[in-house]
Every structure is written in structure tokens, then in C-alpha cells.
Chains A and B, each alone.
Chain A
């Protein structure tokens, strides 16, 4: 069983379109994240949700809208796609509560978005 799964793995679309990436984790974690990895492999946090509540929003354009229907799912919707949105988007999860938060993240395999 895949611990953190993302779909789709590859996404190719035209500028101006709207697209979504879905993420699910079966680890029982209470916190989920979206990270963006650019073409130079730089990894930067975009959003974090804890028990469906947004706790981190890192100056991301409001074209990006995360949604967490429950603590096992965190989806990312992107409106009006731009060339600069091309990247690999990683979903991750961690366990926050119940003792010291060590911040260990469990990552999905990534969703490679290409905007033409």
C-alpha cells in the first residue's frame, strides 16, 4: 500500500487552463503539505493543513487553492495556469500531535506539471 499517493503523476496542459492534483495518505497523519520543486530541484513549501485547517500559506499566488476535505486528503487546484507553474508538486504528510513534533515528512512520488 502506498503511504502518500498523488494523482496524476504527469500533467501536460496549456496556459490559461485550470487543473487539479489530488493527494491521499493512509498513514493516519494529521498534517499534510504541498511542496513545489522547480527545475533546479529547489524545494519550497506552499501550504500546510492540520486536521483540515490551513496553518501555512507561503505567499503563493491566489490562483493556487488547496482543499482538505478530511485529514487524509489534500488537493491542489490551480487556476489560469502560467508557464512558471511548470514544476514537480510534492504532497507530504506528518504527525504533529501526541508528543514532540520531529517534523519528519513522508512524501508522495510527485506530480510533474508541464504548462505549454
Chain B
């Protein structure tokens, strides 16, 4: 069975500061990994995904994530936070080879302070 753990349900940063949102996964087979963002009263939108190509993945809005197999981690970073980054962020794991199911973490709410 697959699972995702997001460390920290709330993260608060100052505008211009580094954003680091943590995600650890558990999977018995090579995983696909995703970060989604949810703005208030909206659906989820894909930020970036890892599908066994490059371990450093760049996404939209200046976000990137690094797949570290030895640490079973897929942490999301952005060098400089912007007010518009305030949202809920979800890490998700899927299975290579045809599984239709994504398992989501419990989410991390990012607050950006002026």
C-alpha cells in the first residue's frame, strides 16, 4: 500500500523567504510523485510531477521538488515566497505501471506574511 506523510499542517514564511514543504512517501514499487496546490474555494491544480526521469523537477510558479529515493522524500521548495503562494499544498503518490489511484497527503497550509 502507498502512503504520503506531509510534515507540518501549517507553514508560515515571510514574503521573499525560502519555502520548504516536506513530503515523505511509502511505496513498494517505483512511485510517481506529485505536488498539487489548492487555492481557496478552488479545485486542485498540478504544480509538478516526478515520473522517473530527472530527480529534480521544476514546476509552475517557480516551485521545484527533488526526488530522493534514499530518504523516500519529495520536498517542495521555492527560493522566494510571494503573497500569491498562500494556499494549501498536497503531495500525492501514484504507482508506475497503470494504477489509477493517487493517494494524497493531508495537506500543508502555507501562509505568507508581508
Stretch from A12-20, A37-45, A64-72, A78-86 that touches the partner: A37-45
A contact residues, range:
20 to 34
A109 touches B88 (CB 8 A): no
Per the bound structure, the CA–CA distance linking A103 and B109 in Å amounts to 23
B43 touches A109 (CB 8 A): yes
**What residues of A have a CB within 8 angstroms of the CB of B107 in the complex?**
41-43
A102 touches B106 (CB 8 A): no
Shortest CB distance B72–A (Å): 18
Pick from A4, A55, A96, A105: contact of B102, CB below 8 A.
Answer: A105
A41 touches B106 (CB 8 A): yes
**What residues of B have a CB within 8 angstroms of the CB of A92 in the complex?**
43-44
**What residues of A have a CB within 8 angstroms of the CB of B41 in the complex?**
109-110
A105 touches B99 (CB 8 A): no
> Could you show 18 A-B contacts with beta carbons less than 8 Å apart?
A41-B106, A41-B109, A43-B90, A43-B104, A44-B104, A45-B103, A55-B100, A96-B98, A101-B100, A102-B32, A102-B94, A103-B32, A103-B34, A103-B102, A107-B36, A107-B43, A107-B45, A108-B43
**Residues of A bordering B, CB below 8 Å:** 4, 31, 33, 40-45, 48, 50, 55-56, 90, 92, 94, 96, 100-110
